[in-house]
Each structure stands twice: as C-alpha cells, then as structure tokens.
Amino acid sequence: MPQAHEKLSCFLIPFLVAVSLAICSAGDDVSEQFVYSGGFAGANLTLGDAAVLTPEGLLELTNGTLRQKAHAIHPAPFRFRNASTARSFSASLVFGILCPDDDNCGHGIILFVAPGDYNFSAAFPSQYIGFVNGTSNGAAANHIFGVELDTDQNNEFRDIDGNHVGIDVDGLTSVASTSAGYFGDDDGVFHNLTLASGKAMQAWVDYDGEGKQITVAMAPIGTARPVKPLLSTAYDLSTVLTDTAYVGFSSATGSFNSRHYVLGWSFAMDGPAPAIDIAQLPKLPRFGPKRRPKLAQIIPPVATAAFILAIGTVTILLIRRRRKYRELREDWEVEFGPHRFSYKDLFRATGGFKDKNLLGVGGFGRVYKGVLPVSKLEIAVKKVSHDSKQGMKEFIAEVVSIGRLQHRNLAQLLGYCRRKGELLLIYEYMPNGSLDKHLYGGDDEKPVLDWDERFRIIKGIASGLLYLHEEWEKVVIHRDIKASNVLLDGEMNGRLGDFGLARMYDRGANAQTTHVVGTIGYLAPELGRTNKATPLTDVFAFGIFLLEVTCGQRPISQNSQGDQLMLVDWVLDHWLRGSLTETVDAKLQHYDVDQACLALKLGLLCSHPLQNSRPDMRQVVRYLNGDVQLPELTPTNESFQILGLVQNEGFDSYLMPYPSPMESINTTLSSLAAEK
Ligand SMILES: Nc1ncnc2c1ncn2[C@@H]1O[C@H](COP(=O)(O)OP(=O)(O)O)[C@@H](O)[C@H]1O
Ligand SMILES: *[C@@H]1O[C@H](CO)[C@@H](O)[C@H](O)[C@H]1NC(C)=O
Ligand SMILES: *[C@@H]1O[C@H](CO)[C@@H](O)[C@H](O)[C@H]1NC(C)=O
Ligand SMILES: *[C@@H]1O[C@H](CO)[C@@H](O)[C@H](O)[C@H]1NC(C)=O
Ligand SMILES: *[C@@H]1O[C@H](CO)[C@@H](O)[C@H](O)[C@H]1NC(C)=O
Ligand SMILES: *[C@@H]1O[C@H](CO)[C@@H](O)[C@H](O)[C@H]1NC(C)=O
Ligand SMILES: *[C@@H]1O[C@H](CO)[C@@H](O)[C@H](O)[C@H]1NC(C)=O
C-alpha cells in the first residue's frame, strides 16, 4: 500500500487512497515525498533478491545468509531534474545492522537514487553491496548515486576503514567518506558510532540542487539531527541523475554473517524529508542471529553442559585425590624434610595399603610391604593410629634421630609420614620376616633354624643392642626386645626392629618414665617397682630372648593343668639338676653343646632378678664372642642362690598387669612428651 504524504488519509479510508494517489501523481510540488514511520508492514515496495518485509514491520534486507544481496525500491519514481539541473532532495532513514562477530562484518547498506532501467540483477553481493558489479563499477553510464553505510574495509574501493559513511557516484569508490559518527550539538565533539552495533541509528542525506552540495548526517536513534553534518561535499549531480529515477536500498553480505534492517524511511523532493516518528518504529531483533541452524543451536548447550560436567568431574577427582593423599605437615617439620615421605608415594608403594601387602599386625598397628615408586626400594610401612598432636614434634624428632642410627643389626628406620589420626613409620624391608616365625613356625611353616644361624642371630642382636646402649651419642633403650621384634634380612642376619618404643635419654641423666612399655615375660622385675627402664632392663629381656632362641620356647607357656610355666624357671631348674642340655630345642638335631650351654647360662645370668648381677651388653658380647670366659658359675654359686631365693618374688612382680601395647601409641607419645 502506497504510503504517500498524509499517512492518516492513506491508511484509514480506502477511497481516499485513490484520491491521494491522484494528488500524488498530479500535484508535483506537494506529493513528491513519502514517509514509512509505523513500520513497513504491507508496504508497497519493490523487493529484490533477499529483501523481505517481516511480520514485525521491518524491512529485512539480509537475513544472515552468506553472499546474499538485496534491494528494496520505492515503487514510484521521482523527477530528479528540472531542465538539465538536478533538483534538491532529502532522505532520512532509520537502520540497524546486526553482526554476531564485531570484527567480521559485511557489507553494509546503500541508500540510492537510480534510473528505472538500472539492472540490479547484474549487481554483485559482498563488497559490491548489491549496487554494482566488477565491470560496471564506476561507469558513468550507471547514472546512480548512493550513500553507503559500509561495515567492511575494501582496498579495492579505497575504503578508509571498516565502519564508514561514503558518498558514491556511479560506483563504490566514494567521492567523499568519513568514519561513522556524529558531532554533538552541545560540545561539537565527534562521537563514534558503530554501524554494526546492532543498535538502531538514523541517517540523513540531502542534496542542495542550487549549492550543488551533498550533506550526510547521522545520530543514534532518538537523537535529533546534529547541526554539524558528518560529511559534506560539493558535487553536481546534474550529469549523474536521470530525469526520473527511483530511490531505494541495496545491501549485501559476503563471507560474514550480518543482518541489515531498515526500520523507517522518508523522502522528499525540494525540501526536508518528513520526520520519522521514532516511537512508532518496529523493534530491531535481539542481538545475535535469530534463526541458527539446528546443530549450531544444540551444540553450544550440549558442549557447555559437557564442559561443566568435565570440570566438575575433574574437580571432584582432584578433591578426592587431595583428600586421599592429604597429610599433616607443620612448620617445625621443615628440618625433618629429608625424612618425610609423601603419603602419595607410600600409598602407591603399598598398592593402596592392600591386604595382600600386609606383613603382619603388631602391637601398634599394621605393617605393609611396599616398593617406592622411583627408587624401587623395598620398604615396610608401619601404620600407627594416633589422635593427639601432643608430643608429636618430640616424637618425630626422635624418629628422625633414630633414623640416624645405623648398624648392621638394626632394621633401618628410613623416615615417617603424618596424616590426620595416623602416623606412618617407614623401615627397610626385611625379606625373611620376624624371628619368632622361624622359631615356632606359623601359618607358613618355615624350616627350623639350625644352631649356627641361631647363634649368629644371637650375637648380631647382642652387638646391635650394644650399639644402642653404648656406641651411639645417646643411650638408646630398646625396651621391647623379643623374638618377634627381631627381623631377618636377606642373609638371615638378625636385625632389631620396632623402634617405636625406644626412648632415649642423655647418657648419665635419669630416665623418668611414666608408663612401663614392653612385653610380659620380658619385663625385668624392678620395672614393676620403679617403672624405670635402664640398659639393664634391656639386658634382662635379652636374657629371656637368649633362652627363647636356644630352647625354642616362649617365655611363658601353659602346662596341661593350665598353670603358667616360666621358661627361665624351667631352665634354672634343669641347670640346678645338672640337665641343662635337656632344655635345648628338641627340633635341633645337631648343635654345638658348648655354645648352647653358654647361651643358656648367659641367658640366666642376664635375666637375673637383681639388676646389679646382670652383665652389661659389652660384657655379653665378649662372652658370646668367646673373648672372655663366662665366670665359672655353679648352681651353688652365691648369686644363683639368691636367684633361686628371689625368683618367685621377681616373677610375681613381672606378672603384674602392665598396660597392653594395644592401648595405642598415645600412651607412648604422651609419656614421651613428659619425658622431654
Ligand atoms: N621391616 C620389616 N620388614 C619385614 N617385615 C616386617 C618389618 N617390620 C615388621 N614386619 C612384620 O610385621 C609384623 C608386625 O611388626 P611389629 O609391629 O613390629 O610387631 P610387634 O609390634 O609385635 O613387635 C612383624 O611380626 C613382622 O612380621
Ligand atoms: C504499488 O505501487 C505501484 C506504483 O505506485 C502501483 O503501480 C501498484 O499498483 C501498487 N501496488 C499495490 C498492491 O498497491
Ligand atoms: C534467508 O533468505 C534466503 C533467501 O534469500 C533464504 O533462502 C534463507 O532460507 C533465509 N534464511 C533464513 C535463516 O531465514
Ligand atoms: C524548474 O526550472 C524553471 C526554470 O529554470 C524554474 O522556473 C522552476 O521553478 C524550476 N522548478 C523547480 C521545481 O525547481
Ligand atoms: C540484468 O542482468 C542479468 C544478469 O547480468 C541478465 O541476465 C538480465 O538479462 C539483465 N536484464 C536486463 C533487463 O538487461
Ligand atoms: C555488470 O553489470 C552490467 C550492467 O550494470 C552488465 O551489463 C554486465 O554484464 C555485468 N557484468 C557482469 C560480469 O556480470
Ligand atoms: C573512534 O574510532 C576510531 C577508530 O575506530 C578511534 O581511533 C577513535 O579514537 C575513536 N574516537 C572516539 C571518540 O571514540
């Protein structure tokens, strides 16, 4: 429907339309104008190529499809020349260019005046903006004039930038151009406008037929036409325009997704273009392409969800991993750094502390076998549960100092690791396990140790204990010597293990102990009275150990009547009766009688109830090596008479209930703290 001049009459009363049309064509001066203010819905426009009128009333020149071109032409021509002179005219438009990617836009909109026979079908899209083609560009025969709103820079047409306004005569190489923008009325300052911002903006084009001046202005929508024009150039269109010509738009896309819209349009010959009522204009669509291909619509949300899921999973895994391997680490531990193992390494080394790597369960916790990831060193990891932080620093300091103890008959402590509620001690791995399993057999029946091996182990442990007592910078009391704490390395050397219970005190200083630790059967009688561990209480336990290894019997056993039988009692009894060799392990087919008797007698001497009658470890080692003869002791000897007299008292006291080792290491730790 032609919307020439007065809108009301044209729209509302059909028969008046005919009248006004008649006026339009008849009255030269009054009717040579039009305005599209309330949108283009139902407008009588000549549309070409991609151009459509949307239901919302927009003139959609391109819809985002690549390499599209479009033109929309007002159906009625105007007389542009009076005699041979171009007449003044004025146009105004509100447009919007939507471009998903600001940097990649193309190509723009041209408001043109062109002769009726101009062949737009021959024009090209892309940089030609549906206006000309490669050969027709610049040809004087075109007789076309246009104002380009160009969103792409083409060197071919000497474009100044990718966001400019240009005056085009017969082609796209502008006779004048400038960056899009406007001069503020109040400050006169230039303000940039981005043509492809997706925002509606208004432009005005005027030709002054007398002054032969072309003027272009633009402003954001809602802003009045700026007083100072954006672009003004002297150009005589008299030779360009034909007598009658049409006004319209051309537009095109190239390799970029852009959508070009015209929201409102007005035109007039010989006077200012009618004002466009901004309030009535249709709305530009939301920024971004309206109708994307289905796949493109589905992929982003799916990808986003997948991405979030992946991030979430990774985060959870990391958190779980961190929790799994989380350790306790405090400032004071820095100095112990080299002795500190990472839980992760231990976890990997022991295959996640799997049961199949369990070596045994001791008084303080489980012991696992492991292989360190990098060094391939075989280790035994003792997992000790602990709750308190109290005394931890001292304990660790002790662990580290114990780690410095090095002797061929000690199971080397390599380091430690701390976690919440858990302490891990790392020892050298002893392939042949603990001695008790070889003495008494067990689940996996081991071949009986022959006497030579036993005696070598006895001598080794004696030398290890001597090292602890006398040969290191501090006196170290083992406190828990027994067959199950003697480990056997690959060459069946005896190695003292389990330093978890070892305490230290400076040589000569008094040890103040608050709890008795150790194992029933190996505890010296004086411990029951004084609670004071000394090197001589270790000697006592070593004596029991000697008897244990030689007799192949546990320190305390039960007879058929359920009475407790003390090994030391039994051996002493046999000795008093002159049948000492009867106590030697019956499983031994061959043994050195002298060595066995030495071991048994020395065992009795070491486990003498009176501590002052016991030898120290240096003497023990000398006796065992044969460097010194064991004093010729007879059962009638004074010291053994005393032994006989006090033995009952002594054994009674060491059968007192002592705290079980199962009471967790807390006891040990707190007493350690108290000790330091
Ligand atoms: N360094 C090691 N190498 C090999 N096996 C070990 C090692 N330390 C301990 N074990 C095994 O783990 C078991 C329990 O050890 P431990 O806690 O020291 O026992 P306990 O507390 O009874 O003295 C031992 O009997 C031994 O078989
Ligand atoms: C559109 O305008 C042209 C020129 O004014 C006229 O010839 C044509 O009949 C009009 N079409 C309609 C549908 O009004
Ligand atoms: C865009 O217009 C073209 C016609 O020029 C049409 O083939 C295409 O389907 C349209 N695309 C969309 C998304 O509307
Ligand atoms: C056309 O030109 C004639 C003579 O040159 C002049 O009198 C007349 O006013 C002009 N008309 C317009 C509309 O400019
Ligand atoms: C317009 O140009 C096209 C393509 O160049 C051509 O096929 C068509 O015949 C031309 N039309 C006229 C009227 O010249
Ligand atoms: C370019 O357009 C002109 C008419 O404007 C036409 O004659 C010519 O064939 C076109 N050239 C090409 C290459 O299409
Ligand atoms: C306008 O844009 C140009 C280049 O696009 C830039 O150099 C200039 O600083 C901008 N001016 C303002 C006022 O934003």
Domain edges within the chain: 32-274, 325-429, 431-675
Query: Which has the higher per-residue pLDDT, 487 or 337?
Result: 487
Render 107-174 in DSSP notation, one character per residue: -EEEEEEE-TT--GGG--SGGGTTT--TTTTT-GGG--EEEEEE-S--GGGT-S-SSEEEEEESSSS-
pLDDT value at position 471?
Answer: 86
pLDDT value at position 299?
Answer: 79
pLDDT value at position 150?
Answer: 95
pLDDT value at position 663?
Answer: 32
Q: Closest-lying ligand to the alpha carbon of 20?
A: 2
Least confident residue range of 348-352, 383-387, 399-403, 511-515: 511-515
Topology agreement, domain 325-429 and domain 431-675: no
pLDDT value at position 562?
Answer: 79
- Residue 354: alpha-carbon gap to chain centroid: 27
112 CA distance to ligand 7 centroid (A)?
28
Is the CB of 119 inside a 6 Å radius of any atom of ligand 6?
yes
Domain 32-274 has CATH 2.40.30.10: no
Omega prior to 574 cis, within 30 of 0: no
pLDDT value at position 298?
Answer: 75
Rounded to whole angstroms, the Cα distance separating 251 from 80 reads 23
Q: Which residues lie closer than 8 Å to 408 by C-beta, 6 or more apart? A: 460, 464, 493, 495
Query: How many percent of the chain have pLDDT more than 90?
Result: 46
Query: Which has the higher per-residue pLDDT, 643 or 56?
Result: 56
Q: Is the Cβ–Cβ distance between 196 and 105 less than 8 Å? A: yes
The residue-averaged pLDDT of 453-479 equals 90
Whose tokens are 């380009």? That residue is 148
Q: Is the Cβ–Cβ distance between 200 and 95 less than 8 Å? A: yes
Least confident residue range of 47-51, 64-68, 146-150, 337-341: 337-341
Please say if the pLDDT value at position 22 is more than 70: no
The residue-averaged pLDDT of 491-510 equals 61
142 Cα nearest atom in ligand 6: 5
The residue-averaged pLDDT of 335-364 equals 81
Q: What is the mean pLDDT of the chain?
A: 82
The residue-averaged pLDDT of 582-609 equals 92
CA distances from residue 291 to 259, 298, 391 in whole angstroms, order as listed: 11, 12, 71
* pLDDT tens profile 150-163: 999 988 899 999 99
Q: How many helices (H) and strands (E) does the chain have?
A: 15, 31
Is the CB of 135 inside a 6 Å radius of any atom of ligand 6?
yes
Please say if the pLDDT value at position 10 is more than 70: no
152 CA distance to ligand 5 centroid (A)?
27
Can you name the CATH fold of 431-675? Transferase(Phosphotransferase); domain 1 (1.10.510)
Please say if the pLDDT value at position 667 is more than 90: no
Is the CB of 136 inside a 6 Å radius of any atom of ligand 6?
yes
Residues noted as catalytic: 480
Confidence of residue 338 (pLDDT cuts 50, 70, 90): low
Please say if the pLDDT value at position 648 is more than 50: no
* pLDDT tens profile 109-167: 999 999 999 999 999 998 899 999 989 999 999 999 999 999 999 888 999 999 999 99
Query: Which has the higher per-residue pLDDT, 657 or 576?
Result: 576
Q: Closest-lying ligand to the alpha carbon of 163?
A: 7
Is the CB of 85 inside a 6 Å radius of any atom of ligand 4?
no
Which of 384, 545, 395 has its CA nearest to residue 465? Answer: 545
H or E stretch covering 378: strand 378-385
pLDDT value at position 388?
Answer: 57
Please say if the pLDDT value at position 492 is more than 80: yes
pLDDT value at position 321?
Answer: 77
pLDDT value at position 604?
Answer: 93
Rounded to whole angstroms, the Cα distance separating 109 from 251 reads 5
pLDDT value at position 635?
Answer: 59
Please say if the pLDDT value at position 508 is more than 50: no
- For the domain with range 325-429, which CATH number is right: 3.10.110.10, 1.20.1250.20, 3.30.200.20, 1.10.3720.10? 3.30.200.20
* pLDDT tens profile 72-110: 999 999 999 998 899 999 999 999 999 887 667 889 999
Please say if the pLDDT value at position 477 is more than 60: yes
175 CA distance to ligand 7 centroid (A)?
22
Rounded to whole angstroms, the Cα distance separating 620 from 617 reads 5
Six-digit token string for 486: 């003697």
Least confident residue range of 305-319, 539-553, 582-596, 648-662: 648-662
pLDDT value at position 374?
Answer: 80
If 0-12 CB within 10 Å is exposed, 13-18 middle and 19+ buried, where does residue 639 land?
A: middle
Is the CB of 116 inside a 6 Å radius of any atom of ligand 2?
no
Render 392-439 in DSSP notation, one character per residue: HHHHHHHHHHHHT---TTB--EEEEEEETTEEEEEEE--TT-BHHHHH
28 Cα nearest atom in ligand 4: 13
- Mutate which of 10, 32, 34, 44 for ligand 2? The one with the most ligand atoms within 8 Å of its CB, which is 44
Whose tokens are 């899209």? That residue is 125
Whose tokens are 């704490």? That residue is 485
Q: Closest-lying ligand to the alpha carbon of 135?
A: 6
Confidence of residue 507 (pLDDT cuts 50, 70, 90): very low
H or E stretch covering 265: strand 259-269
The residue-averaged pLDDT of 217-232 equals 94
Q: What are phi and psi of 54, to 5 degrees?
A: -85, 160
Query: Which has the higher per-residue pLDDT, 548 or 633?
Result: 548
pLDDT value at position 675?
Answer: 36
Q: 413 forms bridges with which residues in the sheet? A: 427
pLDDT value at position 18?
Answer: 35
The residue-averaged pLDDT of 624-632 equals 86
Which of the listed ranges 188-192, 393-397, 411-415 does the model predict with the highest average pLDDT? 188-192
pLDDT value at position 191?
Answer: 94
pLDDT value at position 292?
Answer: 53
Query: Which residue's CA is the nearest one to ligand 3's atom 12?
Result: 63
Q: Is the Cβ–Cβ distance between 123 and 250 less than 8 Å? A: yes
Please say if the pLDDT value at position 513 is more than 80: no
Please say if the pLDDT value at position 651 is more than 60: no
118 CA distance to ligand 5 centroid (A)?
10
pLDDT value at position 90?
Answer: 97
* pLDDT tens profile 320-330: 877 777 776 66
pLDDT value at position 597?
Answer: 93
Please say if the pLDDT value at position 192 is more than 60: yes
Render 515-575 in DSSP notation, one character per residue: S--S-TTS--HHHHHH----HHHHHHHHHHHHHHHHHT--SEEE-TTS-EEEHHHHHHHHH
Is the CB of 68 inside a 6 Å radius of any atom of ligand 3?
yes
Gyration radius (Cα) of the chain, Å: 53
Query: How many percent of the chain have pLDDT more than 70?
Result: 80
Q: Is the Cβ–Cβ distance between 542 and 623 less than 8 Å? A: no
pLDDT value at position 132?
Answer: 95
81 CA distance to ligand 4 centroid (A)?
9
148 CA distance to ligand 3 centroid (A)?
24
44 Cα nearest atom in ligand 2: 1
Query: Which has the higher per-residue pLDDT, 411 or 18?
Result: 411
Is the CB of 22 inside a 6 Å radius of any atom of ligand 2?
no
Confidence of residue 527 (pLDDT cuts 50, 70, 90): confident
DSSP reduced 3-state for 370: strand
* pLDDT tens profile 573-582: 898 888 999 9
Q: Closest-lying ligand to the alpha carbon of 48?
A: 3
